[in-house]
Amino acid sequence: MLKVLGVGLMLGLAGCGQGDSLERISGPTMGSSYTVQYVRTPQGPSPEMVRREVEAILEGVDKRYSTYRGDSLTATFNRLPANSCQSMPADVLELVRVGERLSQSSDGAFDLTVEPLLDLWGFGPQSRLEKVPDEQALAGVRQRVGHGHLRIVGEQLCKDAAVELDFNSIAAGHAVDLLVERLQALGVADLLVEATGELKAIGRKPDGSHWKVAVEWPRDDRQIAQQVVAVEGYGVSTSGDYRNYFEENGRRYSHTFDARLGRPVKHDLAAVTVFDRSTLMADGYSTLLLILGLQQGWEFALRHRVAAVFVTRVADGFVARSTPAFEQVIPPIADKSAPAGPVH
């Protein structure tokens, strides 16, 4: 997943209530990892059942949305020529609709069909070398990019050009929401779920305290926790350009693309962290705001009441600015010099 983790889990735990315990499972997923922590009660599911359910959901997400495995539904769709259709599950079609709404609300800056651009610039699964493409190659690929080339017909997803989908900007957030929903259905009331950096917390830890995350500022060598916040009922996602990039002729090119231009973004916004009740939407908004940059992104966040923290490069480092929505829904619980917790 081409996402950047900018939140650290604060895992200091106090004593458990009688009969309750804190369980933790983790493993690989989607080219990265997942971690599930939850309060186990005597009436709740066993850790073995939780692991089976979690890994089944993550395997299903990978089979639907991965661009790195040739048998996924997304990879199969991407190989189809123009004027083709493919039957898709309801959740895939819903994510396409979410992508369409994000594309429309950003005037096309956010787009799920950027896969050919990622490959051309060296960031995608079919790429061979990170490089700046020539204008002729770029113009050719841009003919195959644009959400307007997609349409949903009943249970089928159709395309009128040879577009290729990339769900990496929202699939992990969707996976977290699916995991939370399933664990709650099993009777787990208090949990923190993280997959490839996207996370969501529900309820409390065994001692009654909040789950905590550290909102971090990027550094090339490490991440520095700047604000520790309590998270309850919110999904959290960070997108940034400071980990996945290359340099050529003294210029830096990140993996974050403005689909309107067919090029990596060029601005001083380094990272955006978003809090939303839907981890799917937090995931999508963090990417969208990073693409738009500080000025347009800030205006978008104010207009749509997005709870977000913007981290911008300045001459001597980074500065952060949070939206009014963030200040209203995510109160700080520690000072800004708090050490970072483990980053998964």
Residue 51 lies in a domain: no
* Per-residue pLDDT reduced to its tens digit, 105-135: 999 999 999 888 888 867 656 555 556 667 7
This prediction has a pTM of 0.86
Q: What count of other Cβ atoms lies within 10 Å of the Cβ of residue 68?
A: 15
Domains of the chain: total? 1
Domain for residue 337, yes or no? no
Share of the chain above pLDDT 70, in %: 79
- Top-confidence residue, 169 or 138: 169
The answer to the question of residue 59 being in a domain is: no
pLDDT of residue 53: 98
Q: Residue 299 above 50 pLDDT?
A: yes
Range(s) of the domain holding residue 140: 73-159
The CATH number that applies at residue 137 is: 1.10.3980.10
Centre a 10 Å sphere on the Cβ of residue 10 and count the other Cβ atoms it contains. Answer: 23
Quickly list DSSP for 193-246: EEETTEEEEES--TTSPPEEEEEEE--SS--EEEEEEEESSEEEEEEESSSSEE
Whether residue 79 lies inside any domain: the answer is: yes
How far apart are alpha carbons 74 and 176 in whole angstroms?
A: 19
pLDDT value of position 217: 61
Residue 141 within any structural domain of the chain:
yes
For 84-100, what is each residue's pLDDT tens digit? 999 999 999 999 999 99
pLDDT for res 128: 55
Please check whether residue 129 lies inside any domain of the structure: yes
Q: At residue 336, does pLDDT exceed 50?
A: no
Does 105 carry a binding-site annotation?
no
pLDDT band at residue 16 under the 50/70/90 scheme: very low
**Is 341's pLDDT higher than 70?**
no
Q: Tell me whether residue 287 is annotated as binding.
A: yes
The answer on whether 337 is annotated among ligand-binding residues is: no
